[in-house]
Every structure is written in structure tokens, then in C-alpha cells.
């Protein structure tokens, strides 16, 4: 009889453990509608879509977060699409032109640009979404945006290298 009680107790504990793990995974996953990198809201005019090697799709708020994801998860991204700021259409990320910087900040900081350091000193907080990085289908559209808002026009490789070094 003791063996049967141990078996039932073991099965009950296993079921409880599985339920706890599934509940934890459900509660700690990022909410839909939030960037998978910075946990800010997605912007329809800037989203960056990542097709993963396992076939799933992830969306992040902007090209800068998308490039951070690519760099931090090597070999897991099969293909990426940026959103053309001019038309709102998805474009292959590697053939896009990007404008970095400029006078428009699309992603608003969660905590503001300044945090308090030791002894109450102000320190500039790191913001993964800055400087702003926006995508365009054509170099002409990127140049027109650059003329109006400033920043610098980059190719995909230049943008990736810029994210890597910042």
C-alpha cells in the first residue's frame, strides 16, 4: 500500500510542478504589442519584423532594436524586414537605407533621459532606441528625410556596424 501512496504523491507533485512552470512561463513572457527588445510599445510606422530560424516571427519597435536583436542572437534570424517610413510598407532590411539621428525621437524613454547616480548626481541613462534609426526603401527618400530632420544616411551594413559599436 505504501508504494501506491508514494506513486500517487509523486504524480501529484509532478503535475503541480508542470502547472507551476507553465504558469510562470505564461506570466513572464513579454506582452503582445510590446517590443521584444526594449519592452516599449510597437510603432506601426517603424516596426522591424524578424523571421526566426525556427519559423516564428518577432516584431520589435524600431530598426535599432531589430539590429540589437540580430547582434545579440547570432544565427537565429533567418530574414528581417524594416518598415519604410515613407510608405508604411515592409521592405527587406538588408536593402533598406537608414537615417540615424536627427531631430525626431519616435521611441519615448521609459524613465526619462536622466537618472540619479551615487550621491544624487545626475547621469545620462542609456537608451537602446537612441539615436533614432528609421528605414526607407530608396536612398532618395532617406536623403529627403535627412535634409528635413538631420542625422546621417546609412546602408544596412553601416547601420549594423553603428549599433554594434554603440
Domain shared by 56 and 132, yes or no: yes
Which residues lie closer than 8 Å to 14 by C-beta, 6 or more apart? Answer: none
Please give the residue that has the higher pLDDT: either 47 or 32: 47
Q: Pairing relation of β-strands 90-92 and 77-83?
A: antiparallel
User: What is the model's pLDDT at position 158?
Assistant: 97
Q: What is the pLDDT of residues 90-125, one digit of tens each?
A: 999 999 999 998 888 777 654 444 444 555 554 444
Domain shared by 40 and 120, yes or no: yes
Domain shared by 4 and 56, yes or no: no
User: What is the model's pLDDT at position 93?
Assistant: 96
User: What is the model's pLDDT at position 35?
Assistant: 83
Express as a percent the part of the chain with pLDDT over 90. 44
User: What is the model's pLDDT at position 148?
Assistant: 94
- Lowest average pLDDT, out of 41-45, 70-74, 116-120, goes to 116-120
**For 15-28, what is the mean pLDDT?**
64
- The grid coordinates listed for 9 are 504523491
Strand order in the sheet with 77-83: 57-60, 48-52, 77-83, 90-92
The parent domain of residue 11 ranges over 1-30
Express as a percent the part of the chain with pLDDT over 70. 77
- Lowest average pLDDT, out of 17-26, 60-69, 138-147, goes to 17-26
Judge if pTM exceeds 0.85: no
Contact, 163 vs 71, CB < 8 A? yes
**For 121-137, what is the mean pLDDT?**
71
Domain shared by 38 and 67, yes or no: yes
Q: How many domains does the chain have?
A: 2
Domain shared by 25 and 44, yes or no: no
Domain shared by 153 and 74, yes or no: yes
Domain shared by 72 and 54, yes or no: yes
Amino acid at each position: 500500500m505504501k508504494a501506491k501512496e508514494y506513486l500517487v504523491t509523486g504524480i501529484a507533485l509532478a503535475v503541480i510542478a508542470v502547472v507551476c512552470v507553465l504558469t510562470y512561463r505564461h506570466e513572464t513572457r513579454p506582452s503582445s504589442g510590446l517590443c521584444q527588445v526594449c519592452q516599449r510599445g510597437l510603432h506601426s510606422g517603424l516596426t522591424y519584423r524578424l523571421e526566426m530560424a525556427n519559423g516564428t516571427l518577432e516584431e520589435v519597435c524600431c530598426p535599432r532594436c531589430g539590429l540589437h536583436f540580430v547582434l545579440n542572437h547570432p544565427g537565429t534570424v533567418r530574414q528581417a524586414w524594416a518598415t519604410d517610413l515613407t510608405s508604411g510598407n515592409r521592405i527587406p532590411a538588408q536593402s533598406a537605407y537608414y537615417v540615424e539621428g536627427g531631430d525626431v525621437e519616435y521611441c519615448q524613454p521609459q524613465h526619462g533621459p536622466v537618472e540619479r547616480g551615487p550621491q544624487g548626481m545626475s547621469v545620462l541613462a542609456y537608451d537602446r532606441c537612441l539615436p533614432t534609426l528609421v528605414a526607407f526603401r530608396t536612398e532618395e527618400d532617406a536623403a529627403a528625410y535627412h535634409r528635413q530632420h538631420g542625422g546621417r544616411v546609412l546602408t544596412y551594413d553601416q547601420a549594423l556596424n553603428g549599433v554594434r559599436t554603440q
